[in-house]
Structure 1
Amino acid sequence: MCISIYWNILFFNGCIFGCQGVDGAAAAANALSLPAEAYGNDPRLEVMWAMKAYNHAEVYFNLISSVDPKFLKLTKLDDKIYSTFRESFKDLDLKVLTHDQLKSSNAKERWRPFCNQFEGLVEDFNFGTLLRLDCEKDYVEDNTVFATRIQFFAIEIARNREGLNNTVYMSNRSKSSSPQKPARTSKNR
Structure 2
Amino acid sequence: MASSDGLSSLGPDGASSAAHALSLPAEAYGNDERLEAMWAMKASNHADVYFNLISSVDPKFLKLTKMDDDIYSAFRDAFRDLDVQVLDPERLKSTQAKERWRPFCNRFEGLVEDFNYGTLLRLDCRQDYSQENTIFATRIQFFAVEIARNREGLNDAVFTSKASKS
Q: Match of 1:67?
A: 57
Query: Rg: which structure is higher?
Result: 1
Match of 2:120, SS state, is: strand
> Unpaired segments of 5 or more residues in structure 1?
1-6, 177-189
Q: Match of 1:137?
A: 127
Task: Report the alpha carbon displacement of residue 78 of structure 1 after superposing the two structures with TM.
Answer: 0.3
- Count of paired positions: 166
Q: Deviations over 1:121-143 (max 9, x none)?
A: 11111100100000000010000
Q: Match of 1:107?
A: 97
Q: Match of 1:186?
A: none
- Determine if the alignment matches structure 1 residue 80 to structure 2 residue 70: yes
Q: Tell me, in whole angstroms, the C-alpha distance in 1 between the residues paired with 2:105 and 2:76.
A: 13
Equivalent residues in 2 for 1:149-188, closer than 5 Å: 149-176=139-166
Q: Which residue of the other structure, out of 24, 28, 44, is the alignment partner of 2:14?
A: 24
Q: Deviations over 1:70-106 (max 9, x none)?
A: 0000001000000010011111111100110110111
Aligned-partner residue type, residue 119 of structure 1: E
Q: Give TM-score scaled by structure 2 length.
A: 0.93
Q: Match of 1:187?
A: none
Q: Tell me, in whole angstroms, the C-alpha distance in 2 between the residues paired with 1:54 and 1:18.
A: 13
Instruction: Verify the 8 A CA contact 2:8 2:15 in the aligned structure 1.
Output: no
Aligned-partner residue type, residue 127 of structure 2: K
Instruction: Verify the 8 A CA contact 2:54 2:155 in the aligned structure 1.
Output: yes
Aligned-partner residue type, residue 42 of structure 1: D
Q: Tell me, in whole angstroms, the C-alpha distance in 2 between the residues paired with 1:15 and 1:161.
A: 34
Q: Tell me, in whole angstroms, the C-alpha distance in 1 between the residues paired with 2:153 and 2:119.
A: 22
Write out the 4+ residue segments of structure 1 that deviate beyond 4 Å after TM superposition: 14-19
> Unpaired segments of 5 or more residues in structure 2?
none
Q: Tell me, in whole angstroms, the C-alpha distance in 2 between the residues paired with 1:113 and 1:165.
A: 27
Cα 1:160–1:16 change in 2 (3 A) is closer
- Determine if the alignment matches structure 1 residue 37 to structure 2 residue 38: no
Instruction: Verify the 8 A CA contact 2:6 2:45 in the aligned structure 1.
Output: no
Q: Match of 1:181?
A: none
Task: Report the alpha carbon displacement of residue 17 of structure 1 after superposing the two structures with TM.
Answer: 5.6
Q: Deviations over 1:140-173 (max 9, x none)?
A: 0000000000000000000000000000000010
Task: Report the alpha carbon displacement of residue 46 of structure 1 after superposing the two structures with TM.
Answer: 0.7
Task: Report the alpha carbon displacement of residue 38 of structure 1 after superposing the two structures with TM.
Answer: 2.2
Cα 1:63–1:15 change in 2 (3 A) is closer
